[in-house]
Structure 1
Amino acid sequence: MSETEVTTAPRPLLLTDGRPAARAWSLDPALKHLNHGSFGAVPLVAQERQELLRVEMERSPVVWFPALPQRIAATRVQLAAFLHVTADGLALVPNASAGASVVYAALSRRRGGEIVVTDHGYGAVTMGAERLARRWGGRVRTARVPLDADEDQAYEAVVAEIGQATDLVVVDQITSATARRMPVERIGAEARRRGIPVLVDGAHAPGLLAAPLADATYDFWVGNLHKWGCAPRGTAALVARGPLRDRLHPLIDSWGAADPYPDRFDQQGTIDATAYLAAPTALDFVDRTWGWPTARRYMNDMADYGAHVIGTAFAELTGTDCRVDVGLPVPGMRLVRLPEGLAPSRVEADALRDRVARELGVEAAFTSFGGTGYLRLSAHVYNTSADYEYFAEECVPALGEWARTAHEQHRAP
């Protein structure tokens, strides 16, 4: 829950010509889109910009590709300004997981080969850490952080797993499955004091946080611009500082391999880099139309309202409080507890996501943590109160029936 629950529907955002904000996207109006956080949504102006770039690429590929590194370098300057970092520390990668893989490929064992992660970590990034630990002949140590843990508790849980054998700490800035913040500033500072590299997974941070790297202590940070920033997929930033950044290389070697970091990431053969080049168009569109501070406030208020409306509907249906006490809530994302029996595991949560889209016409995120299923709301500027009211009226009763059926099937001999 947020500190101040929004129980009144926020006034919807409009385009400069008075049309609803959703008209700036190509999202299917026959569906309700309540899951911006998983894959983002690209505004039409950015889609059109990318298509123009693709036309240019295909009309003269021999001109396009030799000039591409310079264009990507210029784009990095714009994206670095959005993130409030310097361009000489930022490389572009397809997604946050790819950025994490770059880091894993660059590091070597120095101590005991142990890597510290948390039980809130994103699956692909954690699996990469496990593979690295096996290669090192070490192991992964998992910090168990309660969902309702406050800053001190979360910090202490992670630091308790750091020891003499630790070679890397991997921690989410904003957790994907549980929509909470981790105290990466304090964790990073303590790891640095001990001389241990830190990788911050900031996949959800760009656009959702005003300056996600401002106070963070890190060696490596990765964040997706195609989520809250609405850039074409996949566009992500890998930001590195300190002497270890010179070890970072693209996962695929190309003619830029001998260049310094981050320039060597600008030349990647025949990769379609139009998503990178069109990313500033998406960021600028939100900024010009509403301004990012206004957009962030709206997303937060809308997520709050959605959690209130849907949580109230579930409570009336089940007779139990479905609100979730998240220790360090983040803007724009909320959890609502599902009825018992729904989404107790990641696989079942994904199956529920697919069924809800197929049968109820709603794109929603369902997650699981500690054997409990949650609806994860992640709002953007195109969402309105009607989206969440529809879910409360049409989907909550169906989910309640599905939960009862699942419970009866579980009890059957």
Structure 2
Amino acid sequence: MPSHPLDHWALDPDVRHLNHGSFGAVPRTVIEELHALRAEMETNPDRWFRRLPERVAQARTDIAAYLHTPAQTLALVPNASAGVSTVLASLELPRGSEVVITDHAYGAVAMGVARAAARAGAGVRTLHVPLDATPEQITSRFADAVTDPRTQTSLVVVDQVTSATARLFPVADITRHAHAAGALVLVDGAHAPGMLADPLAQAGDADFWVGNLHKWPCTPRGTAALVARGDRAQELYPLTDSWGAPDPFPMRFDQQGTMDLTPWLAAPRSLEFVEEQFGWEAARGRITELAGEAQRMLADALGADTDAVGGSEAPAMRLVPLPGGAATDQAAAHTLQRHLSVAIGCETAVTTWHGRGYLRLSAHLYNDRADYAHLADHLPAALTEAAA
């Protein structure tokens, strides 16, 4: 039996892996299953691809059960951004209407919304949401936007857990206000699966929801869920047409030509692994507690005030403000992130928001207090060195 949770993963033990929220990490047992599936595919490609839609459908059903949603509401897509792009490509936004997003939106999503709106002759309204905003204040900003008599809101695109800023948004309440105003809602739940016990229930009656499974559930990368409810689901088609195009949603997504879909087939094993080894409820409690402790340690090390980022924090991701002048733009954030990797052996997420730099901490089952203590001990000197 592994003596430390890290032993369940193939991660380099000489590196402190503190950025699970970006790329995830795949357990060893799932990597083994992935290799076995790929070997099977190469042994007899004809047989593999003839049977593939049926096997994808089974994996999709297992994933839907994990997310507590009927299988007929869920399609598999490569990642959350692909799911968002699928919805935006399928909807017809009324000319002159408005799409509402926030200044916390993931960059690729914001760019996708801008392109979709421009094609349709629609506009984009970007709401500013302060880092210390309460759930009630966040909801109020959306309510004011969708009821603005000067414009018609056709679509609201809202993060469930924001990427760069680690905020937890009250998407069920936001959805309620949007629907009352006649707008559709697309929830970007990229970080929600695994981190939240029931992300779809917390999304309320949102029309569309997308979530990555390679992050907190630790599935192979390239696995994400697109959930659609009601008649609008039948408007959704894969970004690339294949032989399943005549089928109803979500079956039309089960055929993707000759793409390597082994990550989808291996994904249920990741979900089983966490339950078998740790228990999902206990796992969420552990990583939430560890993320909070990590934030306190790093804030103490930097003398940082976390009150300004204490509004509606995500359970397993936390922000720590960096000293003024650090990571003031995306390029500087990436440079500092690479420096911390080389200088102190820590893979971290350094983000920037409105010209201010932040350390975005992630916690997962292979992390422990010593990981963050190491970062806290070495970060001040590393920041001084980076600024020199």
1:183 paired with 2:167, answer no
Could you tell me which runs of 5 or more consecutive residues in structure 1 were left unpaired when the two chains were aligned: 1-16, 406-413
Corresponding residue number in structure 1 for 2:248: 260
For the residues of structure 2 that align with 1:212 and 1:344, how far apart are their CA atoms? 32
Contact 1:310 1:396 in 2 (8 A): no
For normalisation by structure 2, the TM-score amounts to 0.96
Pick from 43, 61, 76: which aligns with 2:27?
A: 43
Superposition deviation, residue 109 in structure 1: 2.3
Superposition deviation, residue 195 in structure 1: 1.9
Superposition deviation, residue 114 in structure 1: 1.5
**Residue type of the partner of 2:191?**
H
Moved more, 192-201 or 48-57: 192-201
**Residue type of the partner of 1:230?**
C
Moved more, 228-237 or 108-117: 108-117
User: Tell me, what secondary structure is at the counterpart of 2:199?
Assistant: coil
Corresponding residue number in structure 2 for 1:117: 101
**Residue type of the partner of 2:273?**
F
Corresponding residue number in structure 2 for 1:223: 211
1:192 paired with 2:166, answer no
For the residues of structure 2 that align with 1:371 and 1:209, how far apart are their CA atoms? 30
Superposition deviation, residue 165 in structure 1: 2.3
**Residue type of the partner of 1:80?**
A
Corresponding residue number in structure 1 for 2:52: 68
For the residues of structure 1 that align with 2:7 and 2:22, how far apart are their CA atoms? 21
Residues 286-332 of structure 1 deviation map (CA, whole Å, 9 limit, x = unaligned): 100010011111101111111111111111xxxx5356433111211
Pick from 172, 197, 200: which aligns with 1:213?
A: 200
Moved more, 97-106 or 346-355: 346-355
Superposition deviation, residue 241 in structure 1: 0.6
User: Tell me, what secondary structure is at the counterpart of 2:163?
Assistant: coil
User: Tell me, what secondary structure is at the counterpart of 1:239?
Assistant: strand
User: Tell me, what secondary structure is at the counterpart of 1:160?
Assistant: helix
For the residues of structure 2 that align with 1:324 and 1:70, how far apart are their CA atoms? 50
Contact 2:64 2:71 in 1 (8 A): yes
Contact 2:103 2:128 in 1 (8 A): yes
Superposition deviation, residue 66 in structure 1: 1.2
Corresponding residue number in structure 2 for 1:377: 361
Superposition deviation, residue 18 in structure 1: 5.3
1:333 paired with 2:317, answer yes
Corresponding residue number in structure 2 for 1:358: 342
Moved more, 214-223 or 394-403: 394-403
1:280-359 paired onto structure 2 within 5 Å: 280-315=268-303, 321=305, 324-359=308-343
For normalisation by structure 1, the TM-score amounts to 0.91
User: Tell me, what secondary structure is at the counterpart of 2:221?
Assistant: coil
Corresponding residue number in structure 1 for 2:238: 250
Contact 2:94 2:122 in 1 (8 A): no
Distance 1:200 1:322, change over 3 A: closer
The aligned length equals 384
Pick from 155, 160, 177: which aligns with 2:144?
A: 160
Pick from 254, 258, 263: which aligns with 1:270?
A: 258
**Residue type of the partner of 2:232?**
L
For the residues of structure 1 that align with 2:228 and 2:292, how far apart are their CA atoms? 34
Corresponding residue number in structure 2 for 1:239: 227
- Give the CA RMSD over aligned residues: 1.3
Corresponding residue number in structure 2 for 1:4: none
Pick from 48, 69, 72: which aligns with 1:85?
A: 69
For the residues of structure 1 that align with 2:23 and 2:380, how far apart are their CA atoms? 24
**Residue type of the partner of 1:252?**
T
Could you tell me which runs of 5 or more consecutive residues in structure 2 were left unpaired when the two chains were aligned: none
